């Protein structure tokens, strides 16, 4: 019987965007790594720190393979990042569930990114009280892309769509997500409630007059109301600043 330690090592080439996850000794690419037992390519790559949801394509000896490909030793493995922008409506062969529209779920540390995505009109849930398992289950059940800075959270096997946000600065985070998922052409700014993620509908001033500060009622005549939490919005003093941010994030700012 062959001892597991006698399996031939594998040679691994990892695309630059995915080297972010690697421990420093692995930065010499391609790396030759021992294979201690026969295992799936998914298990092996995740043991290096790369979450399966970030992988665009896997190859073994130049042949495209799925997550369940069983390594036998001696292969040359290529781990490729997805081509950007990712079209979530088109199923990838490793992420077979297409999303009818880009929908997101942000973990507790991404409150400002949540706010920015809602400002652009994207359906973005935010949870600050869920454990990792519940977050992953919710993302799958509600067909959302799980956004987090916790790389271990993305290794939960049930997850299909997820991404480890690289930047820590919120302004760079929203640009990162817009770029990754090609959101500029899909954005519908100012169409969603920043507080609860509900949709905004135009509402007549008379219908909400009693809920408005007196000066607001006097100076504004364009109002929107959240269909879920009933919060009222109008293009007040913050609007121009927010709109400048929106245009900037979408790459449409004036020179
Ligand atoms: Zn609301």
Query: 206 in helix, strand or coil?
Result: helix
Q: How many Å lie between the centroid of ligand 1 and the Cα of residue 118?
A: 11
For 217, residues 6+ apart whose C-beta sits below 8 A from its C-beta are 205, 209
> Domains, the chain, ranges and CATH?
4-80 (3.10.20.30), 103-185 (3.40.50), 200-247 (no CATH)
64's CB contacts (< 8 A; 6+ apart) are: 57, 58, 93
Torsion of CA 189, 194, 200, 206, to 10 degrees: -120
Q: Rounded to the nearest whole angstrom, what is the distance from the C-alpha of residue 233 to the centroid of ligand 1?
A: 10
Q: Say what the pLDDT of residue 19 is.
A: 92
Cα torsion angle, 67, 68, 73, 76, sign: negative
In the reported structure, the alpha carbon of residue 211 is separated from the centroid of ligand 1 by a whole-number distance in angstroms of 15
Residues of the chain with pLDDT under 50: 1-4
What residues are neighbours of ligand 1 (ion), with CB under 5 Å? 193, 195-196, 198, 226, 228-229, 231
Residue 25 is predicted with a pLDDT of 63
**Which among 153, 134, 126 has a CA at the least distance from the CA of 52?**
153
What's the CA-to-centroid distance between 235 and ligand 1, angstroms? 16
Q: What is the pLDDT of residues 40-62, one digit of tens each?
A: 999 999 999 999 999 999 999 99
DSSP state letters, 23-73: -GGGGSSSEEE---S--BHHHHHHHTT--GGG-SEEEETTEEE-TTPBP-S
Distance 231 CA to ligand 1 centre (A): 6
Q: How far is the centre of ligand 1, averaged over its atoms, from the C-alpha of 193 (Å)?
A: 5
| CA 135 to ligand 1 centroid distance, Å | 22
88 alpha carbon to ligand 1 midpoint, in Å?
A: 26
CA distance 9 to 30: 12
- Measured in angstroms, how far is the CA atom of residue 87 from the centroid of ligand 1? 28
Task: Compute the distance from residue 200 Cα to the ligand 1 centre, in Å.
Answer: 8
Q: What is the pLDDT of residues 189-221, one digit of tens each?
A: 999 999 999 999 999 988 998 898 888 888 888
């Amino acid at each position: 019987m062959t001892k597991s330690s006698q399996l031939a090592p594998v040679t691994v080439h990892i695309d630059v965007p995915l080297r972010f996850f690697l421990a420093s000794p692995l930065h010499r690419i391609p790396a030759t790594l021992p294979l201690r037992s026969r295992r799936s390519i998914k298990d092996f790559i995740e043991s290096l720190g790369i979450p399966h949801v970030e992988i665009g394509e896997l190859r073994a000896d130049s042949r495209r393979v799925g997550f369940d490909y069983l390594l036998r030793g001696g292969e040359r493995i290529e781990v490729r990042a997805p081509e950007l922008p990712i079209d979530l409506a088109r199923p990838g062969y490793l992420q077979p569930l297409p999303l009818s529209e880009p929908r997101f779920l942000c973990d507790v540390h991404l409150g400002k990114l949540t706010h920015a995505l809602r400002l652009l009109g994207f359906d973005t849930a935010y949870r600050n009280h869920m454990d990792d398992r519940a977050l992953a289950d919710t993302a799958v059940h509600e067909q959302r892309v799980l956004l987090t800075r916790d790389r271990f959270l993305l290794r939960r096997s049930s997850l299909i769509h997820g991404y480890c946000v690289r930047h820590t600065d919120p302004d760079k985070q929203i640009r990162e997500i817009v770029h990754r998922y090609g959101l500029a052409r899909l954005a519908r700014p100012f169409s969603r409630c920043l507080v609860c993620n509900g949709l905004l509908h135009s509402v007549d001033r008379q219908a909400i007059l009693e809920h408005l500060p007196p000066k607001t009622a006097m100076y504004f005549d364009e109002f929107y109301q959240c269909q879920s939490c009933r919060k009222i919005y109008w293009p007040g003093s913050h609007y121009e600043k927010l709109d400048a941010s929106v245009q900037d994030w979408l790459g449409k700012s004036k020179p």
